[in-house]
Amino acid sequence: MKNIKNRNAQYLHRKSFEVDSVVRDEKGDISKMYCYITRDEGQVYESGSSIDKYTLEFIRKGYKVAKKYMDLSPNVVPTNTITIECLEKVDITVEYDLSNNITLNGSYDDVTETVTITGTVKSSGGTLQGTEKIPFKVTLTSNETNVIIGVIDCHVNYTYASISPED
């Protein structure tokens, strides 16, 4: 959902009122009418964008993240990505602990209006085993206004390479 589209119809926003009952005052004038209201727009040429809580949240924030983590492991998943949809062109800053065994880079694609955060394992060396959760922050700054539109807390699930010959 990159562009929010309005509904395109023959008679946009036209309503039809079907009178259910009428209440009159003592002089006989109509004081109330109870009606059923239905949409009567004629031919619909193009449906508009669905407006639900997810779309409204996307509009409010200016970005949408499907998942805020990536899995990395030497020799198994050495490279992985996180994708962030944006409503405007942004500059990206990725902040993380440089002493970890990973590199993280952000890029913006003008055509798809998405930010891609790419994580790559530097080397498969080391003797540690198990999984470590490595936090990082992605800061999105509006290219037009130079205002920060979001700081997203993400993490890498880093699984160390096994040193056991049985694996």
Tens-binned pLDDT, residue by residue, of the chain (167 aa): 456 788 899 998 899 999 999 999 999 999 999 999 999 999 999 988 888 888 888 888 889 998 999 999 887 889 999 999 998 999 999 999 888 888 999 999 989 889 999 999 987 655 567 888 999 999 999 999 999 999 999 999 998 876 555 54
Q: Which of 92, 88, 72 is nearest to 152 (CA)?
A: 92
Round to whole Å and give the CA distance between 51 and 112: 21
* pTM summary value: 0.69
Buried b (16+ CB within 10 A) or exposed e, 114-148: bbebebebeeeeeeeeeeeebebebbbbbeeeeee
Task: Quickly count: other Cβ atoms within 10 Å of residue 63's Cβ.
Answer: 20
Angle made by CA atoms 132, 133, 139, in degrees to the nearest 5:
145
